Structure 1
Amino acid sequence: MRAYAPHRNFIAAAVPTAALWRVLVGFLAASAIYLLLNNMLFTLVFNMVGPQNSAFFDDLLTGKTPAAMFLLLGSFGLMTLGVTIVARVLHRRSFASLIGPLGLAVSQFSAVVRMLVIVGAVVFVLPPWDLGEPYVPNLELGKWLLLLPLSLAAVFLQTSAEEIVFRGYVQQQLAARFNSPLVWMVLPSFLFALGHYLPNDAGENALIVALWAGVFGMLMADLTARSGSLGPAIAVHFCNNVTAILITSMPDDLSGLALYLTPFSMADAEAVRAWLPVDFVLMLISWLAARLAIRR
């Protein structure tokens, strides 16, 4: 496809080591490194805090405090480290090659963020102005603003890690081996969706949430192929998670840095399901806005 011409430059560094076994071994190795280091990190934290502080453990696992959220989001840096090690050792590639041309990625990231801020402002002033009930205040505004720079950095670390793994490493290596988007677009998105299938958290909506994540992954794969860098995909993912983690979060999970909480929790299956189509439309709007922002 002509629209995907920039993708050829994006995947060029992956071509010399495009054997399928390498991406399979590489993905498993990167996952193992991340899980091992993540386990070591949280074991260290638990040992430092002590087993008597069970309330701290509960808050940490659900992200109910700012400190817990910073630790949870910061741990995604270990995911980036894992795939960086694999790229260097198994593919003899640099970390930068997973992102694309840095100058291009930065300029596209900035352009998409600016566009999505405008879109977000328009959506904010349009009805409905709540989710059926008023939002529940969470962090005090002064504290939220004080933490905001570090909060934004933590969300950026988390979202960029996921994009580097799925749209960077996996998509690049598959696209270097297979021409069809049915492989390099769908397979990484399936893995991304699988990681978001959480029946213990999402209950009967778990499959729908995973499907949402899979579609999101394919849209981000499309943006990456059109742009030739991870900049747009990271920007959309970043803005989405800023909204869901820092502005309005659900009360039962990852709420420690949010200014407001939704009037319902993930356990309220009907309420969540009623808003998923709205969320899906907003995802499509963000994708189209990002495409407009990088249009040449």
Structure 2
Amino acid sequence: MLHALSFDRFVAPARLRPQIWRLCLGLVVLTAVYLGWMALMGAAVMGASIWLQGASRLDVMGLGSTPASLVAILFTFTGLALGAFAAARLVHHRSIASLFGPWQVVWRDFGVGLGIFLALSVPGVVYVVLSVDLGRGVAWTVWLAWLPVALVGLLIQTGAEEVVFRGYLQQQLAARFVSRWAWMVLPSVLFGLMHYAPDEMGGAVWMIVFATGFFGLLLADLTARSGSIGLAWGLHFANNLLAMFVFTTGEALDGLALYRLPFGLKDSDVIAYMVGLDVAGMVLVWAVCRWWLRAR
């Protein structure tokens, strides 16, 4: 009952104007703001690149293969958050804060989610470091120098995605539809498809899209039970922290990774095994979070 009341309060602001035409218009506004922000950042990066190096380096930025380009990519997600804020205010006439849930709950649950994910990841991280033939990534000095601004960027990137998928979309769909297929499954499918990148992922692309969508589904469930995006945001932040700043496969978004795994995303057999382990780990983290929600 407590969880149902928490989700009801979380969705309540969206029930004031739940029309589907408003959601469609809101998504148009969101996309326009995001693309506008991307264009501004692209122009700024190109101008700075030409001034500093005499040539455009947008190709490098697209891959996130240097610390600066990775941080720039993370900050592009500011536009995604601004788009959701604009849709909420201009189309649904609701407050920006309502996309997050109660702030005291958001930050408490963010810390809990971050702590649970990292604590449960320790055995796996230790195993990989001790038993896998890892390649070196960036030097510790470079990593530490860039880490403060990179963490801010990661907070923006993961927060923006949570605001859109577990905030705006989940709330507005739940305000209009009773079925979980609409407000839980549909945003999770879209979340998975947003990570579709066949050029980098090769034959493993659909396995990774599935794993990402499944992760989104677990986050949607925890959001519904907690009444804010805080728990999902903390888990998302911790996941991306390890995936971007500790271990990467080297195809993209590896500009600040300490270690590189001895296989790539196009090694389908290895990736299938890793995705299986990843999904099992997600379920374990989700189960512990569910236990914590029941106990609090």
Q: Same fold (TM over 0.5)?
A: yes
SS in 2 for 1:201: helix
SS in 2 for 1:149: helix
SS in 1 for 2:206: helix
**8 Å contact 2:204–2:267 — kept in the other structure?**
no
Could you tell me how far 1:269 is from its partner in structure 2? 2.5
The equivalent of 1:53 in structure 2 is 55
Could you tell me how far 1:275 is from its partner in structure 2? 1.3
Aligned ranges 1:11-160 → 2 under 5 Å: 11-50=11-50, 52-54=54-56, 56-125=57-126, 127=127, 129=129, 133-160=132-159
Could you tell me how far 1:133 is from its partner in structure 2? 4.0
The runs of at least 4 consecutive aligned structure 1 residues that moved more than 6 Å come to: none
The equivalent of 1:244 in structure 2 is 243
Alpha-carbon distance in 2 for matches of 1:193, 1:263: 25
Q: Which amino acid aligns with 2:32?
A: A
Cα gap change, 1:289 to 1:151, in 2 (>3 Å): farther
Alpha-carbon distance in 2 for matches of 1:271, 1:120: 20
Alpha-carbon distance in 2 for matches of 1:49, 1:147: 19
183-192 vs 42-51, greater mean Cα deviation: 42-51
Could you tell me how far 1:128 is from its partner in structure 2? 5.6
The equivalent of 2:209 in structure 1 is 210
The equivalent of 1:7 in structure 2 is 7
Could you tell me how far 1:217 is from its partner in structure 2? 1.2
Alpha-carbon distance in 1 for matches of 2:216, 2:116: 20
3-12 vs 246-255, greater mean Cα deviation: 3-12
The equivalent of 1:282 in structure 2 is 281
Could you tell me how far 1:69 is from its partner in structure 2? 0.6
Could you tell me how far 1:276 is from its partner in structure 2? 1.2
Alpha-carbon distance in 2 for matches of 1:256, 1:291: 34
Task: Deviation per CA, 1:55-94: give whole Å up to 9, x if none.
Answer: x333211101000011000110111011101111111111
Could you tell me how far 1:146 is from its partner in structure 2? 2.5
So what's the TM-score if we normalise by structure 1?
Answer: 0.93
Matched, 1:191 2:190: yes
Q: Which amino acid aligns with 2:143?
A: W
The equivalent of 1:223 in structure 2 is 222
Could you tell me how far 1:111 is from its partner in structure 2? 1.8
Cα gap change, 1:122 to 1:267, in 2 (>3 Å): closer
SS in 1 for 2:253: coil
SS in 2 for 1:185: helix
**8 Å contact 1:250–1:264 — kept in the other structure?**
yes
144-153 vs 103-112, greater mean Cα deviation: 144-153
**8 Å contact 1:201–1:267 — kept in the other structure?**
yes
Unaligned runs of 5+ in 2: none
**8 Å contact 1:27–1:170 — kept in the other structure?**
no
Could you tell me how far 1:112 is from its partner in structure 2? 2.0
Could you tell me how far 1:121 is from its partner in structure 2? 2.1
Equivalent residue pairs, number: 293
**8 Å contact 2:193–2:209 — kept in the other structure?**
yes
Aligned ranges 1:257-272 → 2 under 5 Å: 257-272=256-271
**8 Å contact 1:111–1:293 — kept in the other structure?**
no
Alpha-carbon distance in 1 for matches of 2:146, 2:291: 32
SS in 1 for 2:133: coil
**8 Å contact 2:89–2:96 — kept in the other structure?**
yes
216-225 vs 30-39, greater mean Cα deviation: 30-39
Task: Deviation per CA, 1:27-78: give whole Å up to 9, x if none.
Answer: 1220122012202320232133229535x33321110100001100011011
Q: Which amino acid aligns with 1:283?
A: M
Cα gap change, 1:173 to 1:16, in 2 (>3 Å): same
39-48 vs 14-23, greater mean Cα deviation: 39-48
**8 Å contact 1:112–1:289 — kept in the other structure?**
no
Over the matched positions of the two proteins, sequence identity in percent amounts to 36
Structure 1 vs Structure 2 CA RMSD: 1.8
Alpha-carbon distance in 2 for matches of 1:74, 1:30: 16
Alpha-carbon distance in 1 for matches of 2:293, 2:107: 12
SS in 2 for 1:264: coil
SS in 2 for 1:258: coil
Cα gap change, 1:281 to 1:194, in 2 (>3 Å): same
Alpha-carbon distance in 2 for matches of 1:94, 1:85: 10
The equivalent of 1:171 in structure 2 is 170
So what's the TM-score if we normalise by structure 2?
Answer: 0.93
Alpha-carbon distance in 2 for matches of 1:223, 1:110: 14
